[in-house]
């Protein structure tokens, strides 16, 4: 009997721990979404939810079917490696209804600088310019054709041999 008397405080502690564990289990069941862990450490339902979102990018292959003139230009220059929607943005809605949904006009001062603004962190071989000095405030497509950006020598002289 003496023995039990001495461990009474331990029993009380054990009761508290069991109650806390129960609270934890009840909260966990209430709070964790039911599909959690179905496939991995995330909600299984998230897959269907993401898949149900409207598609916003169409992919360059579908653009190229209609805009063959742009493809012909593009393949002559280094922008052949840049996909249509990297510049024009997500255009799935334009593809569905080209007659009424037109891609927005691009602001080349923002667009071209996004890739070509000079930065010492970029690889040396990547074409880059300090846009403010280089373009003297003119839109980039005043001199460069966006789909085939290299300026040939004759035009270069016209543009004052800027670099």
Residues that bind ligand HEC (CB under 6 A): 58, 60, 62-67, 70-71, 74, 77-79, 81-82, 84-88, 91, 94-95, 98, 102-103, 105-106, 108-109, 111-116, 125-129, 131, 134-135, 138, 140-144, 146-147, 149-151, 156, 159, 162-163
- With left for phi above 0 and alpha for psi between -120 and 50, is residue 141 left, alpha or beta? alpha
Shortest distance in whole angstroms from residue 68 CB to ligand HEC: 9
- The 10 Å CB-count burial string (b at 16+, else e) for 36-58 is eeeeeeebeeeeeeeeeeeeeeb
Nearer to ligand HEC, 12 or 102 (CB): 102
- Are 91 and 84 in contact by the 8 Å Cβ rule? The answer is yes
> Residue 112's closest CA among 79, 80, 90?
79
Shortest distance in whole angstroms from residue 131 CB to ligand HEC: 4
Nearer to ligand HEC, 8 or 69 (CB): 69
Nearer to ligand HEC, 44 or 117 (CB): 117
Shortest distance in whole angstroms from residue 52 CB to ligand HEC: 22
In angstroms, the CA 56 to CA 115 distance is 22
């Amino acid at each position: 009997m003496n023995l039990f008397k001495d461990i009474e405080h331990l029993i009380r502690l054990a009761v508290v721990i069991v109650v806390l564990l129960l609270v934890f289990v009840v909260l966990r069941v209430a709070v964790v979404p039911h599909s959690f862990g179905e496939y991995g450490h995330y909600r299984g339902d998230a897959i269907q939810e993401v898949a149900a979102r409207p598609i916003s990018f169409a992919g360059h292959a579908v653009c190229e079917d209609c805009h063959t003139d742009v493809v012909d230009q593009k393949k002559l220059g280094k922008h052949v490696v840049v996909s249509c929607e990297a510049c024009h943005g997500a255009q799935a809605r334009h593809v569905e209804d080209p007659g009424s949904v037109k891609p927005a006009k691009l602001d080349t001062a923002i667009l071209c600088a996004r890739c070509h603004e000079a930065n010492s962190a970029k690889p040396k071989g990547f074409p880059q310019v300090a846009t403010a000095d280089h373009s003297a405030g003119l839109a980039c497509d005043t001199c460069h054709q966006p789909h085939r950006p290299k300026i040939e020598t004759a035009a270069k002289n016209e543009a004052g041999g800027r670099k």
